[in-house]
């Protein structure tokens, strides 16, 4: 999940000073796997992936046309709310997999933030799966169902998942600012209703951290008099500034999230098979919107400074093995996770049985639903509200 890039978005000085730190990336800890990839783990991982895909498919083809079409005829707000409820039930199975099945430890630190706020959050991007671990944080705050991302447009080509990305209103970007800006602003303008819960997550680095990218980022920093960072890349500021401009008046706070791992950087398949990571450390800083500058240049400098502080925090993590002020969030409830998992799998089982062994009309419905989801996704269609009071705002009518 990545923010749009901009060739001009990094050219901002912090206090007009160039860092004197020598270039060179930090040493990436990528030692041996936490657990061996045994045949049992491989089979369990394949089974988990099949369950995730099947539950997603069945819930979308049977239930999403109701929430995204029928309900939306009457209310955009309740359409979003019901769609997000279904999405949240499915998504909660991933933290269950990470924490209860794979036994990955999640250690939260920093500030303890209140639940159920509307927030914009930004995080560093160490690996291809950082964005998945934000689900564990969001679930604890009662906001898992409403988390949204900016993501590369190429991900909208993934089968099945592209339907869900569209239905829950993720923002696809080309990472070309002249193309992305009008799309981002239009989509963000639809998220301003304070009745709609929102967690919008962005990764200002624009890509995950690698040694090669770090060296390029440091060369750019030296050339333009910016801080030379070792554990993060210089942030691309235009996408973040656009989000802040559009949502400033309708969000409660901005969360600065820093993610680190012991002792190996995980991949998606590591998560599926349950072999890594052993620990995920998530540090949270809550920032009042009023404390963030308003002009574009000042926001750019502010964001670069936040990433300089992230870099220092990650250096201390490498030395100490933990972030300061640990223990700000408790463990997930195993009972709640099991109840949610049972409910989703049971509904999926019933729908699968009806599709395969019941009336032919269920097969016809699935075929039409697949066609419907494919069309609305390919053409980026969000159906309007057709029934309601004459005083509906244009945002509600055409969101």
Best-predicted range by mean pLDDT (3-7, 191-195, 296-300): 296-300
Record the tokens describing residue 257, joined without a space. Answer: 């999230």
Label residue 386 by pLDDT band (50, 70, 90): low
* Strand pairing report for 119-123 and 279-287: unpaired
Label residue 389 by pLDDT band (50, 70, 90): very low
Task: Return the pLDDT at 26.
Answer: 61
pLDDT tens digits along 231-290: 999 999 999 999 999 999 999 999 999 999 988 899 999 999 999 999 999 999 999 999
Nearest to 79 by CA among 235, 213, 193, 231: 193
* Strand pairing report for 279-287 and 253-262: antiparallel
| Contacts of 379 by beta carbon, 8 Å cutoff, 6+ apart | none
**6: pLDDT strictly greater than 80:** no
Host H or E run for residue 121: strand 119-123
Task: Return the pLDDT at 24.
Answer: 62
**396: pLDDT strictly greater than 60:** no
Q: Prior bond to 263 cis, omega within 30?
A: yes
**Residue pair 190/169 in contact by the 8 Å Cβ criterion:** yes
Per-residue H/E/C for 297-344: HHHHHHHHHHHHHHHHHHHHHHHHCCCCCECCCCCCCHHHHHHHHHHH
Record the tokens describing residue 76, joined without a space. Answer: 């955009």
Record the tokens describing residue 357, joined without a space. Answer: 């062994």
Task: Return the pLDDT at 392.
Answer: 42
Label residue 380 by pLDDT band (50, 70, 90): confident
Task: Return the pLDDT at 155.
Answer: 83
d(CA 21, CA 17): 12
Residue with tokens 């990218």: 213
- Lowest-confidence segment of 97-101, 194-198, 331-335 by average pLDDT: 194-198
Q: Is 119 helix (H, G, I), strand (E, B) or coil?
A: strand
- Lowest-confidence segment of 76-85, 138-147, 154-163, 370-379 by average pLDDT: 154-163
d(CA 265, CA 33): 9
Host H or E run for residue 51: helix 39-65
Average pLDDT of the chain to the nearest whole number: 88
Task: Return the pLDDT at 91.
Answer: 96
Give me the DSSP letters along 280-301.
EEEEEEEE-GGGS--SHHHHHH
How many residues does the structure list for the chain? 399
The secondary structure of residue 30, as a DSSP letter, is: -
Label residue 157 by pLDDT band (50, 70, 90): confident
d(CA 99, CA 279): 10
What percent of the chain is modeled with pLDDT above 90?
Answer: 72
**9: pLDDT strictly greater than 60:** no
Q: What is the pTM of this model?
A: 0.89
Could you tell me the end-to-end alpha-carbon distance of the chain, in angstroms, rounded to an integer?
23
Lay out the sheet containing 119-123: strands in order across.
Answer: 105-110, 279-287, 253-262, 119-123, 199-202, 147-152, 171-173
pLDDT tens digits along 29-40: 567 888 999 999
Host H or E run for residue 199: strand 199-202
Q: Tell me what the mean pLDDT of segment 90-118 comes to.
A: 95
**Residue pair 300/12 in contact by the 8 Å Cβ criterion:** yes
pLDDT tens digits along 172-186: 998 889 999 999 999
**12: pLDDT strictly greater than 80:** no
Q: Which residue has the higher pLDDT, 168 or 395?
A: 168
The secondary structure of residue 3, as a DSSP letter, is: P
The CATH architecture that domain 39-56+103-329 belongs to is: 3-Layer(aba) Sandwich (3.40)
pLDDT tens digits along 117-144: 999 999 999 999 999 999 999 999 999 9
Nearest to 87 by CA among 387, 286, 344, 273: 344
Label residue 60 by pLDDT band (50, 70, 90): very high
The secondary structure of residue 156, as a DSSP letter, is: G
């Amino acid at each position: 999940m990545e923010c749009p890039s901009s060739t001009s978005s990094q050219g901002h000085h912090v206090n007009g000073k160039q860092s004197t730190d020598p270039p060179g990336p930090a040493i990436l800890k990528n030692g041996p796997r936490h657990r061996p990839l045994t045949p049992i783990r491989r089979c369990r991982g394949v089974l988990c992936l099949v369950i995730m895909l099947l539950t997603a498919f069945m819930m979308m083809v049977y239930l999403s046309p109701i929430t995204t079409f029928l309900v939306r005829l009457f209310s955009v707000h309740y359409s979003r709310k019901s769609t997000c409820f279904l999405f949240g039930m499915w998504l909660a199975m991933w933290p269950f997999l990470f924490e209860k099945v794979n036994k990955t430890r999640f250690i939260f630190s920093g500030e303890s933030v209140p639940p159920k706020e509307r927030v914009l959050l930004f995080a560093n991007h160490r690996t291809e799966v950082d964005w998945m671990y934000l689900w564990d944080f969001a679930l604890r705050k009662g906001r898992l169902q409403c988390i949204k991302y900016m993501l590369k447009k190429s991900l909208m080509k993934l089968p099945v998942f592209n339907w869900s990305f569209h239905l829950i209103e993720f923002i696809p970007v080309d990472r070309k600012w002249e193309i992305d800006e009008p799309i981002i602003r239009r989509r963000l303008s639809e998220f301003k209703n304070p009745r709609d819960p929102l967690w919008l997550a962005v990764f200002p680095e624009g890509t995950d951290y690698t040694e090669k990218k770090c060296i390029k980022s440091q060369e750019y920093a030296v050339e333009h008099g910016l801080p030379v960072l070792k554990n993060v890349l210089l942030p691309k500021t235009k996408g973040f500034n656009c989000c802040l401009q559009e949502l400033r008046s309708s969000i409660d706070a901005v969360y600065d999230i820093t993610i680190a791992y012991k002792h190996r950087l995980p991949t998606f398949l590591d998560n599926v098979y349950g072999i890594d990571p052993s620990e995920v450390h998530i540090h949270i800083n809550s920032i009042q919107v009023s404390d963030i500058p308003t002009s574009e240049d000042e926001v750019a400098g502010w964001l670069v400074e936040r990433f300089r502080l992230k870099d220092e925090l990650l250096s201390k993590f490498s030395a100490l093995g933990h972030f300061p002020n640990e223990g700000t969030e408790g463990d997930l409830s195993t009972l709640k996770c099991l109840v949610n998992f049972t409910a989703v799998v049971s509904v999926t089982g019933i729908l699968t049985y009806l599709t395969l062994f019941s009336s032919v009309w269920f097969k016809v419905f699935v075929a039409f639903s697949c066609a419907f989801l494919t069309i609305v996704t390919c053409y980026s269609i969000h159906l309007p509200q057709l029934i309601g009071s004459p005083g509906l705002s244009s945002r509600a009518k055409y969101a």
